[in-house]
Amino acid sequence: MALALLARPAGSQTPIYHAQVVVEEGAAPATSPQIIPERTTNCTIGNFFGNGTVEYTVSTESRSDECPVSIRLAGYRKTGTTLRDGGVVVLKRPGSYSNPTVSLTTLAAPAEARKAFEKGVAALSANKWATAQTALERAVASYPEYAPAWSALGEALAEQSQPQQARAAWERAVEADPKFARAWAELARLAADQGRMEDALQAAGRALQLDAAGFPAVYVAQAMANLGLKRLDAAEKSGRRAIEVDTYHEIPRAESVLGSVLAEKGDRTGAIEHWRKYLKLAPKGEDAAEVTRRIAQLGAGGDKAQ
């Protein structure tokens, strides 16, 4: 997406700087994000344009184009960053630490497909799954090689309890662009959830080869797969790596899975420690009651929490 730069005023006027804000899918935000300068700075936020360009000014006393801000947008992690003239800020979803990359298929997408994709991404961020599905289906119908659109479509389908259709969409994404890490990450997660452990390891390996720290959930899938295959040392390594990479603690499941691995290895103390961390992070998680039961069982002296 090209950054639209406006001419700076001449003479002694305060310069107007421009940066760009995009979401990690590569689209401009569908709605204007909340951009708040830090209190200690002398910068002011101006207009926000539809292509993601934000105008801002900085006190002439600073002699700099830098403006430290926090940015909020529904569906994305609160971001602390510094606006710079001509710079680009990428907003990421919770659980994502991926490097900002652009699929080559995006660069070739026609305008009609891009417009539908951007509508689909906006609907995803608002949890409007059916609306997202409709828009993303238009995008891939217009441009069948649109890897990010196929990947986003897979997410919309998964959220509507259509795992097989989601899998097919993610497979289309990696067929169109084998270097699109997010789709590999989603395939790994789904395979682990479905008990297809070898498939999970294969997809996880591809995702991590492309972006080793971008998707902590891939390490969770890898840990689950290795646990299912009784490769306990490998499972523990992956579980600990998931927690290490997830610096915002946005994937509680990493703690739960590592607890299960340690329980299988006979480490009661470690298992209970990580299960309790899971319950602290996700007290209303769908398996919170089961984890609580397993803690009680191990605490009572059970050999392993089944």
Q: 205-246: per-residue pLDDT in tens?
A: 999 999 999 999 999 999 999 999 999 999 999 999 999 999
- Collect all residues with Cβ–Cβ distance below 8 Å to 294 and sequence separation of at least 6: 259, 263, 271, 275, 305
CA distance 158 to 208: 22
Summary mean pLDDT of the chain: 91
Question: Which pLDDT belongs to residue 103?
Answer: 81
| Six token digits for residue 204 | 């996880």
> DSSP strand E in the chain: where?
16-23, 34-37, 43-48, 53-58, 67-72, 79-83, 88-91
pLDDT at 1 over 50: no
Which CATH fold would you assign to the domain 16-91?
Immunoglobulin-like (2.60.40)
Does the pLDDT value for residue 136 go beyond 70?
yes
Q: 34-53: per-residue pLDDT in tens?
A: 999 998 888 999 999 988 99
Q: Is the pLDDT of residue 264 over 80?
A: yes
> How do residues 68-125 score in pLDDT, each as one tens digit?
999 999 889 999 999 999 999 999 999 998 876 678 888 889 999 999 999 999 899 8
Average pLDDT over residues 136-154: 97
C-alpha–C-alpha distance, residues 28 and 67, integer Å: 20
Is residue 252 pLDDT above 60, yes or no?
yes
pLDDT of residue 39: 86
Residue 13 has pLDDT above 80, yes or no: no
Kindly state the tokens that stand for 92. 């990421």
The string of pLDDT tens digits covering residues 19-38 is 999 998 878 888 899 999 99
Confidence bin at 4 (pLDDT 50/70/90): very low
Helix-helix angle 216-228:181-193, to 10 degrees: 30
Helix, strand, coil % in the chain, rounded to nearest 5:
50, 15, 35
User: Domain coordinates of the chain in residue numbers?
Assistant: 16-91, 107-299
Task: Identify the CATH class of 107-299.
Answer: mainly alpha
CB contact at 8 A, 30 and 119: yes
Of 16, 183, 177, 242, nearest to 259 by C-alpha is 242
Burial of 75 (0-12, 13-18, 19+ CB in 10 A): middle
For residues 280 and 274, give the distance between their C-alpha atoms in angstroms, rounded to a whole number.
10
Question: Residue-wise over 172-208: b if at least 16 C-beta within 10 A, else e?
Answer: bbbebbeebbbbbbbbbbbbbeeebbebbbbbbebbb
